Chain A
Amino acid sequence: MAKVLMKGNEAVGKAAIEAGCKYFFGYPITPQNEIPEYMAKELPNNDGVFVQAESEVSAINMIYGGAGCGARVMTSSSSPGIALKQEGITYIAGAELPAVIVNMMRGGPGLGGIQPSQADYFMSTRGGGNGDYRTPVYAPATVQEAVDMVMEAFEVADYYRTPVMVVADGMIGQMMEPVEFKAPKKRDLPKKDWATTGTNGERKPNIINSLFLDPQALEDHCFKLDRKYKEIEENEVKYEMYKTEDAELVFVAYGTTSRIVKNTVEALREQGIKAGLIRPITLWPFPHKAFNEIPAAKNLLVVEMSTGQMIDDVKIANEGRLPVDFFGRTGGMIPTPGEIMDKAMEVIGGAK
């Protein structure tokens, strides 16, 4: 398929339909409204159904019901809306159902603002709902990656029977870029024989449930989930190493921020400073092993559109080996290459 110029949010909607998503339940919130709008327009033409729910809570529970039927389902929202959806996400994780949830992050806390932000890192990677669960989290840096990851998310969701999040920010949702829709590598997906599709009198009833009143049974269930999460950590980690072979100053940044940092790396290299970038593509599982692949590194500098959330994972991955510094803008402010460069100079100076 040839490349087409599309707005990020609409491209996400198209990617979902291309991936076989026929059901979208959502609720409007800026800056992701073009996703439900696209689905409302296109799903009926693709033998699918769009329903605008009365709230984010209701939308995610519609997803829970639809996922229980074995269908490919998706919802999208932005930060305060995703906070509301956490209730449903923990149920979907607990009941082991596949679903895709897109978050076009905006500034918070509370109502916050509507400009791009990365302040939902904790909420996404720590399991914002109750209980022992994780969700795979993809963090695209371009509209093309958003498309690829939405498609991949459906495969991962079905393969592991888990909700999967695609976490971008308002910038990616609102920008236009050329994209191509290529089907991801097909996985050997398990049969959905657990789905509530009616027994038709031919099998025992299926029950979709996350309630285990016997604590031993719940512990067994949590350990079973944990084994699945270990498998995901083993197999699904994705990251990019950018000019890190000889890098002495290694940035860590994801999503939109990573694009700005790449420009900064170039600018620093023009000045003879060996800079590089580790870009986590999956925020969970976090690419801990990437931090074993930076032989020349003397400093780590984390850059985020938050007051510092991923820095915790970077410190865990780094295990105290290198000094870790941080630069962040938040509330919808986007860091500039210039100010990142200033921070880089300060960090290098401090290390000398």
Chain B
Amino acid sequence: MAVVFKKTEGLTDKQTHYCPGCTHGIIHRLTAEVLDELGVLGKSIGVAPVGCSVLAYDYFNCDMHEASHGRAPAVATGIKRVQPDKVVFTYQGDGDLCSIGAAEIVHAAARGEKITTIFVNNAIYGMTGGQMAPTTLPGQKATTAPLGRDVDHAGMPIRMSEMLATLDGAVFVERVSVNNPANVRKAKKAIKRAFEVQLEGKGFGIVEVLSTCPTNWGLHPVDSLKWLEENMIPYYQLGNLRNPEEAK
């Protein structure tokens, strides 16, 4: 019987620990499919973050290196500088990348580090239990912003992709979402391009993926997708912010 659909080789058989309705699973799958389709799984080294995706090293079917909070781009730099012929990627959440690891991502991008970053933005700290993230929207409730994010007190959320796109070393920056099938397809295309940019040796690439957190948002998974669409996308506009052609 002809196989028309099967699990990607890029993922292990391990069952993930993600909450029902969380879109980490989709983003893992897209990343893994891309590595598989590009035929680079055997030369890939991923760097897992802290936060919800801390166990990513159990799910990706390639060599993996766990990093401390926010430091994945520095760890990836060490790996890539030692092994420039390998495909090196970081998989990071918004707390990890935007807050404690803001310096590491900015400088990896500024150096034009030839790595790929998958940046999962769900506007909240997931693993630690729903605290405010740098990406939490104005008025959005979090356990450390019980009345909703007060921008006079906590400032406005950071648009990381826009910030990184100002850096010459960041040659590929795109924001995507996985809230519906059409956007999932666009997300995969962006992730693939980001890895191709690395393979072409052009510089740093990042794909920001808007993601859901039904558990900490306190919403049904389906309502979470709607919330993402109605609240996150207007603030974090989707689209390509930088590509190698422009970067020249």
Contact = CB atoms under 8 A, between A and B. Distances in A.
Interface string B144-163: 00000000000000000000
B79 A69 contact: yes
B66 A211 contact: yes
Interface residues of B, number: 37
Contacts of A303: none
Interface string A86-110: 0110010001000000000000000
A229 interface: no
Given A23-B82, A58-B103, A205-B61, A65 B43 contact: no
A57 B78 contact: no
Given A196-B64, A209-B64, 14 more contacts: A22-B82, A25-B77, A51-B77, A54-B106, A54-B107, A61-B75, A62-B74, A62-B77, A63-B78, A64-B75, A88-B71, A197-B45, A198-B43, A208-B65
Given A54-B103, A65-B65, A211-B66, A200 B78 contact: no
Interface in B63-83: 63-68, 71, 74-83
14 contacts: A23-B82, A51-B81, A59-B74, A61-B74, A61-B78, A62-B77, A65-B76, A69-B79, A69-B82, A198-B44, A198-B86, A199-B63, A206-B64, A208-B65
Contact of A207 (B42, B63, B68): B63
B65 A68 contact: yes
Contacts of B68: 61, 87-88, 91
Contacts of A65: 47, 65, 67, 74-80, 82
Contacts of B103: 54-55, 57-58
Nearest to A211: B66
Interface in B83-101: 83, 86
Contacts of A22: 82
Contacts of B83: 69, 197-198
Contact of B62 (A53, A62, A199, A208): A199
Contacts of A87: 68, 71
B8 to A, nearest CB: 14
Contacts of B195: none
Contacts of B60: 205
B217 interface: no
Most chain A CB within a 10 A radius of its CB, from B61, B75, B76: B75
A73 interface: yes
B78 A207 contact: no
Nearest to A195: B63
B168 interface: no
B57 interface: yes
A315 B214 CA distance: 57
A322 to B, nearest CB: 44
Contacts of B65: 64-65, 68, 196, 207-209
A209 B80 CA distance: 18
Contacts of B61: 205
B76 to A, nearest CB: 6
B229 interface: no
Contacts of A260: none
Nearest to A22: B82
A50 to B, nearest CB: 9
B78 A66 contact: yes
A25 B81 CA distance: 10
A215 interface: no
A206 B74 CA distance: 19
A349 interface: no
A197 B63 contact: yes
B74 A58 contact: yes
A201 interface: yes
A198 B45 contact: yes
B54 interface: yes
Contacts of B12: 205
Contacts of B107: 53-54, 58
A207 B75 CA distance: 13
Contacts of A55: 103
Contact of B67 (A25, A61, A71, A201): A61
Contacts of A58: 71, 74, 77, 103-104, 107
Nearest to A213: B55
B41 interface: yes
Given A65-B79, A65-B82, A69-B79, A95 B66 contact: yes
A62 B78 contact: yes
B25 to A, nearest CB: 19
A66 B83 CA distance: 9
Nearest to B107: A54
Most chain A CB within a 10 A radius of its CB, from B62, B67, B74, B78: B78
Contacts of B42: 198-202
Most chain B CB within a 10 A radius of its CB, from A69, A73, A211: A69
B228 to A, nearest CB: 29
B22 to A, nearest CB: 18
A196 to B, nearest CB: 4
A113 B213 CA distance: 48
Given A199-B41, A199-B63, A61 B81 contact: no
B82 A207 contact: no
